[in-house]
Chain A
Amino acid sequence: MLRALGVVTLQTFTLLRRDRIFWPALAAAMFIAAAAAIASSWGTEELMKMLYDYGLLGFQLTGSTVAIFWGVKMIGDARQDGSMEVQLAAPVSRGLWLVGKYCGLSACLLMVSVVFVVLWEATLFVLHYRLMGPPQLLVFALMGLGWLVDAALAVFFATLTRPSLAIFATFAAWIAGLSSALIDQAMTPETPEQLRAAVSTIARYWDLQQFNLADKALEAHLPAFAPTLDRGLYGLVLIAILVTVASAISSRRDVLPA
């Protein structure tokens, strides 16, 4: 079973690499680093803070977009070109195949996060700022985990429906979490109790921005251990749930021609 998982993962990684998954990420990272450097030099706020605010926002959006688009595309392509049919004719279960696809995408996203970290360090070095320490690296690590959650969400929807709808559904679900957090903050004591509780629950469990710790990037010390660990574990639980459900659904669905 592990051998089959390894082969599907390796093949997916190769396909995504040749599908130029790294190019947009690299181009975006360079653009973001340059834009953040320019913006920070023009800004009136603390330069380092502006650099991190713009840079991390750009990195987060780029990583999430790459995770969502390529997550949906890899499943859609396998259906479209029929390679899914041939791969599943081998001794690989449908559930395992999907997990392998997700692992291949995750490996690519981890590579993308390494590229971002290296480019960011280079930017800091060129601008003569302090290089990243453990708190900043932890921020990047959690951001990478957030991308993996986005990828799991994309794979989940790609299993259920066609690529265009899956992309729409993934972004909709992502924005639903983000907006619920904003609405939660805007609610007043006059808001009905039940509505407040419902919005708060959604914001607490489904706001995928919780993996973005950009506001803590410039702290000298590591963020508090317990809440950070909670976020990390929660991210892993979300991934496990989404991939397991997608895998279970995939196991029961017929593989039909595109």
Chain B
Amino acid sequence: MTETPATLPEGPLLQIEQVRKVFRPDVFKPAQVALAGLSMALRRGQCTALLGPNGAGKTTTIRLILGLIAPDSGRVLFTGRPMSTASKQYIGYMPETAKLPASLQVAEVLRHQLLLFAPPHATTAKQRRQCVEATLAEVGLSQHAHKRIGRLSKGMARRLAWAQATIHRPQLLILDEPASGLDPLARRSMLGWIQAEKSRGTTILLCTHEMLQVSALCDDYVVLRRGHLVASGQVAASTGVSLSVSGLGETGLSRFALTEELPPWRALRQDGFLAELSFVDYDGAAMWAAALLRKGYVVTRFGDDYRAIEEQLLSYYLEEA
């Protein structure tokens, strides 16, 4: 009997255990180790960022999860059981580019997707039609339902890819560079949709190079390099909130903190008259900002600080370059 998503057992939704994958493109060319004993897990309902420079093994990891390639050793478990064709029932996949047949129509793709996945909310023809219409309206493609995919703009194709990945309401959503090539407005919509999907409890694996997306959307992160997992953790523990202020030196800031009884900062960076303070949480940063503004200083920036992860990542990128 097929399990419904509601009865999926507790524990990590997806586990990758000691997976090794070597590509042998040609007998005359050396073998390439794409993944060298990778182990990681996706916490249920959380968004995990899959990070790393090009060639680190991110796409190979995604393909392994989807069963498009088989590991040489190790295994991929979905809800504690080996990944199978049936497990893919609960997975949605949005590739980096619109990998859909150019001559199919927009609505056809979604209808076929519903027929393939047969989700409980779209079992009859009428339900499928309604579901396709609602999804197209949600992503703003209602006017293009009968347009062929080859004639869509890049932004429309990305929206369709999103619709195709989510129309069956998956439990695990795998997103490969979902906002790549989008204009700022479309990017904002895409991030909003991901956020909404996350708040519905969907587990998300987000493959990206953009730290803004990581800090805005992700709970966990995993960094790959040359097929090895080199860092992982919770985004909240590695990021924080920072503010920039002009006209204060380090000594001034210390004295200021004592007089105002403000919480300690986590890190301080100075460049001439500019100072940047980072805090582990929003409250500390907000108290500092308020105090500085009261004294007439200019707070030039207030926002997320993901420098710790970013600098670590950049060091890997530089080494690869």
Interface residue ranges, A against B (CB under 8 Å): 3-4, 6-7, 10-11, 14-15, 18-19, 77-78, 81-83, 85-86, 88-93, 252, 254-257
Contact = CB atoms under 8 A, between A and B. Distances in A.
Given A18-B103, A19-B103, A93-B85, A86 B164 contact: yes
A89 B97 CA distance: 15
10 closest A-B pairs by beta carbon, nearest first, are A82-B99, A254-B69, A18-B103, A89-B93, A255-B68, A90-B116, A91-B88, A7-B115, A89-B66, A83-B101
B185 interface: no
A88 B113 CA distance: 11
Contacts of A91: 85-86, 88-89, 116-117
Most chain A CB inside 10 Å of its own CB: which residue of B68, B70, B97:
B68
A116 B115 CA distance: 33
A91 B102 CA distance: 22
Given A89-B66, A255-B69, A10 B112 contact: yes
A92 B116 contact: yes
Given A4-B116, A7-B115, A11-B104, A82 B97 contact: yes
A92 B85 contact: yes
Contact of A11 (B59, B70, B112): B112
Given A11-B104, A255-B63, A255-B69, A89 B88 contact: yes
A15 B68 contact: no
25 contacts: A7-B115, A10-B112, A11-B104, A11-B108, A14-B104, A14-B108, A15-B103, A77-B101, A78-B101, A81-B101, A82-B95, A82-B99, A85-B99, A86-B93, A86-B95, A88-B67, A88-B68, A89-B66, A90-B113, A91-B88, A92-B116, A93-B85, A252-B70, A254-B68, A254-B70
A257 B60 CA distance: 11
A257 B97 CA distance: 12
Contacts of A19: 103
Interface string B147-189: 0100000000000000010000000000000000000000000
B116 A81 contact: no
Contacts of A78: 101
B285 interface: no
A94 to B, nearest CB: 8
Contacts, number: 76
A255 B69 CA distance: 6
Contacts of B148: 18
Contacts of B99: 81-83, 85-86
Interface residues of B, number: 30
Contacts of A255: 63, 68-69
A7 B100 contact: no
B91 interface: yes
Interface in B87-135: 88-89, 91, 93, 95, 97, 99-104, 108, 112-113, 115-118
Contacts of B89: 91
Most chain B CB inside 10 Å of its own CB: which residue of A4, A86, A252:
A86
A110 B294 CA distance: 82
Most chain A CB inside 10 Å of its own CB: which residue of B88, B108, B164:
B88
Interface in B56-94: 59, 63, 66-70, 85-86, 88-89, 91, 93
A256 B69 contact: yes
Nearest to A87: B116
B181 to A, nearest CB: 15
B90 to A, nearest CB: 9
Nearest to B89: A91
A33 B73 CA distance: 59
Contacts of B118: 3
Nearest to A90: B116
Contacts of A82: 95, 97, 99
Nearest to A84: B99
A14 B104 CA distance: 8
B68 A85 contact: yes
A11 B100 CA distance: 11
Interface string B27-71: 000000000000000000000000000000001000100111110
B58 to A, nearest CB: 13
A37 to B, nearest CB: 35
